[in-house]
Amino acid sequence: MTSINTQNQPIEVEDIEYLRHGDAPLLARVFKPRGTGPFPGLVQLHGGAWCLMDRTRDNPLNEALAHSGVVVAAIDFRMPPQASYPASMQDINYAIRWLKMRASELGTRPDMVGVAGTSSGGHQAMLTAMRPRDPRYSAIPSPAGARGVDATVKFVAMCWPVIDPLSRYRYAQRLKAGGKPYPEFVDNVLPLHDAYWKTEDAMAEGNPLQALERGEKVELPTALYLQGENDIVHPRADLERFVADYRKAGGKIELELIEGASEAFISRDPSSPQSRRAIAKIIEFVHRMAQ
């Protein structure tokens, strides 16, 4: 366990095994403020087009949240080539239940737990929040003595999510079909979409935006949607459709567009003015929603 002291809330950081598949442990990096709490609780999901990165990807954001007085569990989950959709969703659903089960020990409460994510992690955060009781996602049983604990969340914070995986896939395909020069991300994300989703039908099914447009009966926790105004990796049209559809379905969603910022700006430079503004907004939102 590492103790970190700053002028803000002192925190402790520890890697904890929250789940095991065979001989392969899955770890949560838990950022815990010192003190009695109860603090807001957050399961945080890294990006990487569903296939790359790990729980350390968003350390600067998670540390800032913890120093403000939030318990953050940044998790690893199964990814290709180990497993494709919906395996990660099962791990995420379990992780939310795990945090709720250990809430008192970690200094939070089950009714103060939310979920957050960046890019593909933002997609997974919204999808798990909308479908907390989906039998495919909740397939991993809770430990004995934890009956009645589900994966519902109080709130969702999304940073530049891939809110419609199929739309983003076809957008990248169109850019590639137009010939070079096209943005570098195109050649990066297309094979990763294929590795995780396998089919376009799966991209349409595991899709928060299209779930709303299909009229699915889903949970609609209050959400924050944060994205850079200059982001070309996460189509703006998908953002606008999702925000409108979420509100039409009766959900509350706050949209925060960061001027002068492009994709993954917090991850690239967490000390930039844009990143500081975005992190402050996330912190304010989490504390307000957990009340």
Max Cα-Cα span within the chain: 58
For 24-33, the pLDDT digits (tens) are 999 999 999 9
Q: What is the pLDDT at residue 148?
A: 84
For 39-54, the pLDDT digits (tens) are 999 999 999 999 999 9
Domains of the chain: 2-289 (3.40.50.1820)
d(CA 11, CA 113): 18
Mean pLDDT of 121-149: 93
Mean pLDDT of 259-263: 97
d(CA 125, CA 209): 13
Mean pLDDT of 279-291: 97
Helix (H, G, I), strand (E, B) or coil at 67: helix
Contacts of residue 244, defined as CB under 8 A and 6 or more positions apart, other chains included, come to none
Helix (H, G, I), strand (E, B) or coil at 185: helix
1 neighbors 14 (Cβ within 8 angstroms): yes
284 neighbors 37 (Cβ within 8 angstroms): no
Q: What is the pTM of this model?
A: 0.96
Angle formed by the axes of helices 185-197 and 165-177, nearest 10°:
140
